[in-house]
Amino acid sequence: YLYVDDGFGPARPGAMRFYGPYGVMMPTVQAMVLDLFDFIRIPHDPAKQVHGTCLTIIGHEIDTELMVARMPRESLARLIELMLDFVTTRRRRTLREFQHVAGNVCWGLNVHPLIRPGLSTTYEKMEGKTRGNARIWVSTRLVEEFLWAVGHLGTSHGVFFFKSLTWTP
């Protein structure tokens, strides 16, 4: 599996080639794409030219051997910490703080979709509010929803892909 400037594709295991400009071995098809980019003078970033069976894409780990998409452990721990801090340290938060935590939880929904109900009260409380510094109560129901979501995050393994297709060139 390879990732080239937001393009993805399969590669045969072991079909590697040296790519001179970066001084590294990479899948042959990936090196060929970069050769084409070089020929037509399309710039590319070495940091984006990754390959392997487990890649980090938009902050999520995509593991093609285990057929799972998940949050890296550190990211998951930070999200859980953010959610717990949000509901346990203060009884009132600003709209901006509500939006911040909701945005982080929404990002986690990409690979943990079953925690969506944990945002119901959060969105109800933000509805119709526009002033970023408006103070909003952290209700008992919101605390319960976040604790429920945190419990699921702590035991979730991400999203499993139940079916895979065999790719042949």
Structural domain spans, the chain: 2-52, 73-155
Residue among 166, 168, 156 at smallest CA distance from 114 = 156
Q: Model confidence over 129-166: pLDDT tens digits?
A: 999 999 999 999 999 999 999 999 999 888 887 665 66
Position 64 pLDDT exceeds 90: no
The domain over range 73-155 is classified in CATH as 1.10.3470? no
Output b/e per residue, 152-169; b: 16+ Cβ within 10 A: ebeebebbeeeeeeeeee
Per-residue pLDDT tens over the stretch 50-63: 888 888 888 899 89
What integer pLDDT is reported at residue 16 of this predicted model? 93
23 Cα distance to chain centroid: 29
